[in-house]
Amino acid sequence: MVTDTPKGMVNKFWDFCDKALDTTNDWNTNSDSGGTAFAISLVHGGAVVGSVDTTDDDITNLIGSVIWAADQGGPLTLEVRAKLYTSVADGESYIGWTDATTDEMPMTLSTADVLTSTADDAVGFMYTGAGTASWKVAGTKLTADTAVTACDNGGATTPVVATWQTFKIALNVDGDADCYINGLWQARVDNAVTAATLLTPYMGIQSGGTARSMYVDYVDIWAGRVAS
């Protein structure tokens, strides 16, 4: 963390209380044919929601700006409050960091928890509706994937339809990640990402044949102010 200013940390918080999602300055959105891109939902306190239809492998995602690096002091933390809606069956969900605004799921799991990564650098939470219980967490560092760890410390974290969960990833200056759900530590992912690589928050769902949605209540990022 820098010491030449008392404002040694950067904080960016989106509570989605505006009339419309700022897709010019803050967010990139995508939705494949038949889905609905993330947009403000006029509910108490504000939220954004995106959905997919029943077409297999269609993606709907919400991606920020690629401006956050773990090696600039910190830790670099991402906290997202989200819920899956309509269904938690047949499809993939991801909440975490990635290294680009590419229209893709950064990492997905098979029903047997085999990891497939498309990002070069990413770390995040994954849930596969037809797979095993609980959210899982993993990383990919310069395309080298980590092991997949189940987030079941304190009990299963399997998402329940329309029930909010809060996800947090804290990256240290070496690119190791500590991962939390609802404030409870779940796993440490060593060598999760390349510490100097710029990252962006990513929330997305991929259809597995069942129509469903993801609501995001807020996104909160804390980072060290640029030191070099």
Residues 116, 63, 57, 93: is their CA dihedral positive or negative?
Answer: positive
Measured CA to CA, the distance from residue 45 to residue 25 in angstroms comes to 22
CB 169 within 8 A of CB 146: no
Q: What's the pTM?
A: 0.97
- Provide the pLDDT confidence category of residue 149 given band limits of 50, 70 and 90: very high
Whole-number mean pLDDT of the chain? 96
At the topology level of CATH, where does 9-224 sit? Jelly Rolls (2.60.120)
Element (H, E) at 138: strand 136-141
1 has a pLDDT exceeding 70: no
pLDDT one-digit tens code per residue, 11-29: 999 999 999 999 999 999 9
Q: Which residue has the tokens 């690629």?
A: 66
210 has a pLDDT exceeding 80: yes
Q: Label the pairing between strands 91-98 and 200-207.
A: antiparallel
Residues 183, 175, 217, 181: is their CA dihedral positive or negative?
Answer: negative
